[in-house]
Amino acid sequence: MNNPLVSIIIPTYNRAHIISETLDSIISQTYQNWECIVVDDRSTDNTEGVIGEYLKLDSRFSYYQRPESRVQGPNSCRNFGFEKSKGAFIQWFDSDDLLLSNAIGLLIKSSIGNPDAIVAKTDCFDFLTDTRISTNKVFSHNLIEDYFTGKITFYIGGILWNRTFLLKQDELFDINIRNMDDWDFNLRMLYEKPKIVFLDDILFQYRLHKDSFSNELRKLNKLELISEFKARDKHLAILEKRKDINKEVIHTFLLRRHKKYLKMAIIKSDKNVYFLFNLLFLKQLEYGRFNDSLKTAVGFLVFFITGRGYIFFKDYP
């Protein structure tokens, strides 16, 4: 199969103002044998109208509304899009990101030997200033532990998946997880020991803007925080049973995440500060970090009395 069909699956919701740039980056691909399936999570803006113009322009585009019988959310849309796809390879993508023009071509060129996945690097950009923030690291000799702790990162669009591998999975995207949904998906796929080809090429642009899902964590959105903690705990329960994982490293990483959010809440005097304190304190007790839990309690008591207490958390990441 010299030019296999690639299915690019895009969930979207109220992205009429930005999705054209994403679809233009798909049209500009040097590799021509693709289909692009856009699944609309029942947008309330003019998303359908914008995509309608692309349907007239290129028959390789298709558009679906998420069925009312399906749960709302990008994961449900991704799963539905996969059901509608025909490609030998699957490219999950988001409606605000960009493909470099040679992306699909290089990924397919690297598919010799029929790997389960091909992973390339992604540039993270500031949407407003169009400046590069960072480039992710994708390769590690300790793949699962380093992925869990963020030493390596696979963005949703950064991987081309072999359809044959995906069809073997009992579940694709977990419809019960909002934030960390792609993290959860990728980690579960890694548990299955896929044959992966790693590329040193940067083929994607992840654009960070005020409406990005990841920004909801920085805003201390409680629902999104709960989603992250739920996803982390879900995989912690799995990794606790593995002998090849350093539990101390995993626990330390999780506590740092909790400390980070508590520190942010204290600085901002955010309403979720008590919720975040309780989570951190209980996690420290659970992991036997009694000195840390005492420090957290004292620092929070000072904050409660004086409204400050930041000094007790100054060494937190």
Q: Which tens digits make up the pLDDT trace of 115-169?
A: 999 999 999 888 777 788 889 999 999 999 999 999 999 988 899 999 999 999 9
- The CA distances from residue 99 to 158, 201, 204, in Å, are 10, 12, 5
Alpha carbon of residue 118 to chain centroid: 17
Q: What is the pLDDT of residue 313?
A: 56
Q: Tokens representing 40?
A: 């609309």
Q: What is the pLDDT of residue 29?
A: 97
Residue among 269, 271, 265 nearest 316 (CA): 265
Q: Tokens representing 28?
A: 């500009």
**Rounded (10°) angle between helices 181-191 and 74-84:** 50
Q: Tokens representing 16?
A: 């009429």
Mean model confidence pLDDT for the chain:
90
Q: What is the pLDDT of residue 317?
A: 46
- pLDDT band at residue 218 under the 50/70/90 scheme: low
**CA separation for the pair 210, 138 (Å, rounded):** 26
Q: What is the pLDDT of residue 162?
A: 98
**CA separation for the pair 162, 263 (Å, rounded):** 41
Residue among 43, 40, 41, 31 nearest 5 (CA): 31
**CA separation for the pair 66, 10 (Å, rounded):** 12
pTM summary value: 0.89
Token look-up 């739920």 returns 230
**CA separation for the pair 174, 185 (Å, rounded):** 7
Question: What is the DSSP secondary structure assignment for residue 309, as one 8-state letter?
Answer: -
- Average pLDDT of 211-216? 60
Token look-up 């103002």 returns 17
Burial 79-99 (b: 16+ CB within 10 A, else e): bbbbeebebbbbbbbbbbbbb
**CA separation for the pair 138, 199 (Å, rounded):** 8
- Average pLDDT of 58-84? 96
